[in-house]
Amino acid sequence: MSSQAAAKAAGGLVSLAKKQTVQSTGVWEVLRRFFAIDPERSNGVPLNPHFRNPPPGSNPPLEYDDPVTLPAGDIADNPYWKRDSRRNYPQLSVVNQSQFAQLLTVGSAAAPKVELIGEAGEKQLVAVKEESQTGLAQALGKVAPGEATKDVFVNGLPPLPSGQSLSSGAWDVHKYEVTDASYGEGYPCRSFK
């Protein structure tokens, strides 16, 4: 197509008969042309068969299948604050005195001091919980002086911020390993190939 033919096709006025818009007819068209600033301008209302096929009301509403991605699309037990990664700040981990006393007496799940099995274990946990309410001073009095720091502190020091460790004399956060997929095996996210 030559440039002149392209310019002719692209530019210029198009008659109202060629526009795919609803237009008035008869006397109303004469009145519209008389009062219009630009008589060749259409009203912009599209012809329904050209732009709305199938029309919006023709689909039965009960047959519509809403695409839902689980678990994000599940509205039960899925509040926004759980999914809001922008405001997912690190939370402080606080151990009060009664919990500290329980750690000294029984230990933690990672490093238990006493085997707690069956009903005897449950009774011992209840007894330790009641003892810890009396105070931390009594729990510290029962434990050897060096034992308290072993249970709660890491190498005798308070725990470091999450993801940091003092190794080889330098502070460093866990390194991000680049793999074939965007996420590693332990991350619950699908990767598409």
Locate all alpha helices (DSSP H) within 84-193, ordered by sequence.
97-105, 118-132, 136-142, 147-152
Rounded CA separation 141/152 (Å): 16
The answer to the question of residue 74 being in a domain is no
Coil, helix or strand at residue 107: strand
Rounded to the nearest 10 degrees, how much is the dihedral formed by the CA atoms of 102, 104, 110, 115? -80
Q: How confident is the model over 105-138, as pLDDT tens digits?
A: 887 777 777 777 778 778 888 888 888 888 888 8
Domain holding 105, by residue range, is 97-152
| Number of domains the chain contains | 2
Does any domain span residue 190?
A: no
106 occurs within a structural domain: yes
Unique residue bearing structure tokens 């999450």: 162
Question: Are the C-beta atoms of 105 and 131 separated by less than 8 Å?
Answer: yes
pTM above threshold 0.75: no
The per-residue pLDDT for range 139-153, each reduced to its tens digit, is: 888 887 777 777 667
